Amino acid sequence: MTTRPPPLTIGGREFAWGRRTYVMGVLNITLDSFSGDGLGYDVEAAVAQGRRFAAEGADILDVGGESTRPGFDPVSAEEEIARALPVIERLLAEVDIPISIDTSKSKVAKAALKAGAHLLNDVSGLRHDPEMAAVPARFGVPAVVMHNQRGRPFRDVIGDIRSGLEASIALAAAAGVPRERLIIDPGFGFGWTVEQNMEMLRRLGELVDIGLPILVGTSRKSAIGAVLGLPVEERLMGTAATVAIAIARGADIVRVHDVKEMAQVCRMADAVVRTAAEA
């Protein structure tokens, strides 16, 4: 049996890897989310959704003020802060689960963490902004580092992911972020073909020996739509299948838009996978 990473405290809560799968609920404070759930400047709607997600079984709420869909329209750090910060501040007062800031800009990360956010989720793996790696070190918070394949040469799915993650882990170490505070994300949907995304899930277990908790975000993504021939609003069952497979292959956290349904998928998959691992 593979040894799981040691527990990690996020926002005062212990995440014990291997015991169960944790659910990260997505709060898109954007105008152009690929998933059709962008909440823009509607703070009340975002906070209501966050409260609902917490009640439905989310373990973390991930707040993002800039879309990361293919071909997204970049926004300034100031705009991103204006969208995300009011939501984060309200959620900190109204829910009792950790809040994550989804950004690749150090200025945004600093503002969110200064306000009280508990986790940094950077889809660039600390590689977009040269000042980003120092931010989680300064605030003493964990960070999700993702391998983003966009614009990078392809050689091998798992080999490319491993090399990208190794670069991010090295950046974090150089900035003073302890390795045990990192969570890795292979980057489903970020620069891969449909077939490569499927291969990533199939071979996800090959990343377990990195020794860090694994986050996977397949929810509603275009690869699911391509396989099933379905629009984004009809990808719930496809998402459920990918979440269950990711858990079976070693995922520790799943990032999802449909918290109630995916929390049930996690519980069912855990009843099979975690029990077998402990036997």
The catalytic site residues sit at: 221, 255
Closest-CA residue to 177 (of 211, 141, 124, 208): 141
Residue with tokens 């709607």: 45
Long-range contacts of 148-155 (CB under 8 A, 24+ apart): 148/123, 148/124, 148/187, 148/190, 148/191, 149/187, 149/190, 149/191, 149/192, 150/70, 150/190, 150/191, 151/191, 152/191, 154/196
Angle, vertex CA 67, rays to CA 145 and CA 78, nearest 5: 90
DSSP state of 230: -
Pairing of strands 60-64, 22-28: parallel
3-state SS, residue 249: coil
